[in-house]
Amino acid sequence: MQGRFMMSTQYNYAGIDIAKRNFVIAVSSLSKTKTETNNPKGIAHTVEYLKKHKVALVVMESTGGLEIPAAKAIHRSGIAVIIANPRQTHQFAQSQSLTKTDAKDAQMLAFFAQMMTQKEDWQTMLYHPPTEAEEVLEALVNRRNQLVDMRTAEKNRLHQVHETQVESVKQLIAHFDRLIDELDKQIDEHTHTHFDGKAKVAEQIKGIGSITT
């Protein structure tokens, strides 16, 4: 079974504590941590480092998207990845009486990775990056939601501006209407091409929120 394979002593576990500029890597069999720059070159070095030390599972915390480039690269290299909820890892650290530093956080996450594989359902927690079609859909939906927010702001402003500026605001609202309509057409075409036209497909894909109106 894969669970037993993952817990084999010939494999290691790693934790990565990610920040905007860099991240700290801890491997279960090593006492020292390694710091890499959070950019494509640093991520490539990290993948090499993880492979060198035969890491089978990596845990990193969800950090508002900062973790995604590294998670994708590590997943593509064939190493399993879990993106954990910070609340869950914080509770785990407290239960182990672990202090909070970047190095200690990474080491805690490596230990957390090892503990996760002892759970029957650990494989359900694995990170699976979106397909290219899903990423395009996410970009379309996110942009549409941004435009809707901007249109709403202008509609609210319509009742606040001087009467000499009302027409200007109305023109901008109409402009947003046209852009949103165009994105609706692109989303509809994309879902029919790549997702068999499934209704509300944007809401069914993990990581893509509901379409706002």
Residues in the chain: 213
> Do 23 and 119 lie in a common domain?
yes
- Rounded CA-CA distance 55/53 in Å is 6
Q: What is the predicted pLDDT for the residue at 4?
A: 42
Q: Are 42 and 121 part of one and the same domain?
A: yes
Based on the domain organization, do 139 and 99 belong to the same domain?
Answer: no
Element (H, E) at 13: strand 12-18
Q: Residue 211 has what DSSP assignment?
A: P
Residue 23 belongs to some domain of the structure: yes
Same domain, 119 and 155: no
pLDDT at 203 over 70: no
- The answer on pLDDT for 7 being more than 90 is no
**Is residue 212, in this structure, part of any structural domain at all?**
no
Give the whole-angstrom CA distance, residue 81 versus residue 128.
8
pLDDT higher for 120 or 5? 120
Give me the mean pLDDT over the 38-43 stretch: 96
Q: Are 34 and 96 contained in the same domain?
A: yes
Q: Is residue 184 within 8 Å of residue 213, measured between CB atoms?
A: no
Which residue range forms the structural domain that includes residue 93?
A: 2-125
Of 108, 125, 142, the domain-final residue: 125
148 is a domain residue: yes
Distance, in Å, from the CA atom of 173 to the CA atom of 63, rounded to the nearest integer, reads 34
Claim to verify: residue 93 and residue 146 sit in the same structural domain: no
Single out the residue in 125, 154, 170 at which a domain terminates. 125
Pair (95, 17) in one structural domain: yes
Rg (CA), the chain: 22
The reply to whether 209 falls in a domain is no
Same domain, 98 and 175: no
Tens digit of each residue's pLDDT (9 = 90 or more) over 121-161:
888 889 999 888 888 998 999 999 999 999 999 999 998 99
58 located within any domain: yes
CATH number at residue 97: 3.30.420.40
On whether residue 210 sits in a domain, the answer given is no
Residue 98 pLDDT class (50, 70, 90 cuts)? low
Give 120's pLDDT tier (boundaries 50, 70, 90). confident
44 in a domain, yes or no?
A: yes
Q: Which residue has the higher pLDDT, 58 or 205?
A: 58
106 and 149 share a domain? no
> Domain for residue 167, yes or no?
yes
107 plus 144 within the same structural domain: no
In degrees, to the nearest 5, what angle opens at C-alpha 69 toward C-alphas 67 and 72?
A: 100
Q: Is 158 helix (H, G, I), strand (E, B) or coil?
A: coil
Residue ending a domain, among 95, 125, 155, is: 125
